Structure 1
Amino acid sequence: MQVLTLGPEGTYSHRAASAVANDEEISFTESVTAIVEAVANGEYDRGVVPVENSIEGSVTESLDAFAEYEIAVVKEVITPIRHALLAQSETFDTVASHAQALAQCRSYLEENYPDATLEAVASTARGVQHAREDPSVAAIGHPANADDDESLLVLAEDIQDQTSNATRFLVVAPVSERSEAGAKTSFIVYPDVDYPGLLLEMLEPFAERDINLTRVESRPSGERLGDYVFHIDIAAGLYEERTQDALAVIESIAEEGWVRRLGSYDSETVIY
C-alpha cells in the first residue's frame, strides 16, 4: 500500500501515517492539497492529512481540498502532540517550525524567548532540518527527532500551551473505497441558497434522530462573497437508518447545490 503524507520524514503526519503503513510504503510531499489530489487521481492508495488540532482548530487547507476533490475518508487517527525545543546549543536567534506548531507553543515562546524570530516553514520536520544545518536556528518538533543524530539537543520538552494537545488526522482513499460502515461519518453540504434559518434546518434532522454532531464548520465556497460550504461530522454510520433519513432531508434542503458523502470510518488513537 502506497501512502502519501506531509514530509519530510519525522513530521507528526509521518507518525500518524505509520499507523496505516510501514515506513517503506510512505512517501512525502509538503502540500495537503497535493496529497488529496494524488489520492483522488489514483496515484496513491492512501493519503494521511491533518484536519483538526485541539488548540488551533481546523486545518482549512484540508477542508478545502475535500470540497474540491472526490475522495473517501476511511479512517481517523488521533495522536497526542508532544512539542520539544530542539537546537544545536542554547544560543539561537530563530525558532523554525510549522505555523500550527508555533501557535501551539505561543505562550512558552513569549515567556522564554520573547526576542526570537519565529519562522513558519512547511512542516515541523523541515524546521528540524533547518536547525541541523544552522546553529542559529532552533526547531519545534517531536523530541524523538533529536535521536536521529547527535547534532541536536532537546532544550525543553512538552512546551505546548495545553498538555492535552492532540491532532486529528483523516486517512483518505480513492472514492471507490467509500464505506457505509463505521462509528463516524463525514460529509460536505453546499446548499447554494441563503435564507434565515437555513443552518437550523440543516441541523434539526440530526437532533430529531438523536445523532450527535461532532463538528460543524463553514468554509467560503469561492463562488461569491457570503456563500459557504458546510463540513459536518457525526457520531453515526451511513449504514444506520437514522443517518440515511437525516441525509435525505439535508439533500432536499440542498437540492440547488450538492451533498458529498465522504464515508463512514472508525477512529484509532496512536501514542508516540
Structure 2
Amino acid sequence: MKALTLGPEGTYSHRATQAVADEIDFVESVTSIVEGVAGGEYERGVVPIENSIEGSVTESLDALADRNVAVVREIVTPIKHALLAQNSEFETVASHPQALAQCREYLAEEYPSAKTEAVASTARGVERAREDSTVAAIGHPENAGDDLQVLAEDIQDSTSNATRFVVLAPETERSDAGGKSTVIVYPNTNYPGLLLEMLEPFADRDINLSRVESRPSGERLGDYIFHIDFAAGLYEERTQEAIEELRGLAENGWVRVLGSYDTEHVV
C-alpha cells in the first residue's frame, strides 16, 4: 500500500505513517495529502489533526472540509521533542510552528535570545541545522544522526504531549464500523440556539462528543463549518438518527460523513 504524508523523511507524520504503509511518499502541505487521496493518486494519506498542547491543526480541518475523503483509522503517538544542533552555540531554532509552540516555555527559559524560524516540518528544521551551524532544530532525537548533537531531550512543555493523526482513504472506502466517527457540518445559516440544536441529537441519544471545532467557512464573516468527533459507530441506529437530524438542520448547507474508525497508539 502506498501512502502520502508530510515530509521529508523523519517527521512525526512519517513515524505515524510507518504503521500504515511500507511505501511512503512525502509532500510539504496537508492540503496536498488530502488532494492526493481525493484524486485517487494514493491509497492512503496521513495528516495530523490535533495536538494535546496546541490543539487542532487548522490546515487539516480546512482541507478535510474542502474535499471528499474518508477517515479509516486514527493514530495517536507521543511527541518527544529534542534540541538538535552541531554545537551548543547557535542563534536560531528552526522547526514546524507546532513544535516551536509546544516547546515555547523551554526556549524562553533556556535560550531567551535565540530567534525562532518556522519551517514546513520538524525534519526540515533538522536539515537546516545540518546545513548551518548557527541553527538548532527541534525534532525527534533519532533524527540527530552522526552529524548533530542531542543538546536536550523531552523539551516539550508537557510530558503528556501527544498528537492525533487520521488515516485518509478514498471516499468509496468509508466504513460504518468503528468505535469513533467524524462528521463535518456546514449549516449555511446562523440564529440563536443553532449550536445547541446541532448538539442535542447526540445528547438525546447518549452519544459522547469527543471534539467540536468551528472553522470559518470562507464565504462570509461569522459563517462557520463545524467538525464533530463522537464515540459511536455509523452502523448504530442512534448515530444514523442523529445525523439525519443534522441534515435537517443543515438543509441550506451540507453534512459530510467521513466515516467510522478505531484508534491505534503508536510509540
Query: Please, which of 37, 57, 62 is the counterpart of residue 39 of structure 1?
Result: 37
Query: Matches of 1:64 and 1:115 in 2, distance apart?
Result: 35
Q: TM-score, normalised by structure 2?
A: 0.99
SS in 1 for 2:150: strand
Query: Matches of 1:193 and 1:226 in 2, distance apart?
Result: 10
Query: Matches of 1:56 and 1:33 in 2, distance apart?
Result: 20
What RMSD in Å do the two structures reach over aligned CA positions? 0.5
Aligned to 2:182: 186
1:152 paired with 2:153, answer no
Query: Matches of 2:180 and 2:223 in 1, distance apart?
Result: 27
Query: 1:165 Cα shift?
Result: 0.2
2:121 alignment partner AA: S
Aligned to 2:12: 12
Query: 1:193 Cα shift?
Result: 1.1
Query: 1:55 Cα shift?
Result: 0.3
Query: 1:226 Cα shift?
Result: 0.5
Query: 1:36 Cα shift?
Result: 0.1
1:54 alignment partner AA: S
SS in 2 for 1:21: coil
Matches within 5 A, 1:148-227: 148=145, 150-227=146-223
SS in 2 for 1:5: strand
Query: Please, which of 251, 256, 260 is the counterpart of residue 260 of structure 1?
Result: 256
Q: TM-score, normalised by structure 1?
A: 0.98
Query: Matches of 2:162 and 2:172 in 1, distance apart?
Result: 30
Query: 1:250 Cα shift?
Result: 0.8
Aligned to 1:97: 95
The list of structure 1 runs, each at least 4 consecutive aligned residues, that deviate by more than 2 angstroms after superposition, is: none
Query: Matches of 2:56 and 2:127 in 1, distance apart?
Result: 26
Aligned to 1:250: 246
SS in 2 for 1:47: strand
Query: Matches of 2:81 and 2:2 in 1, distance apart?
Result: 28
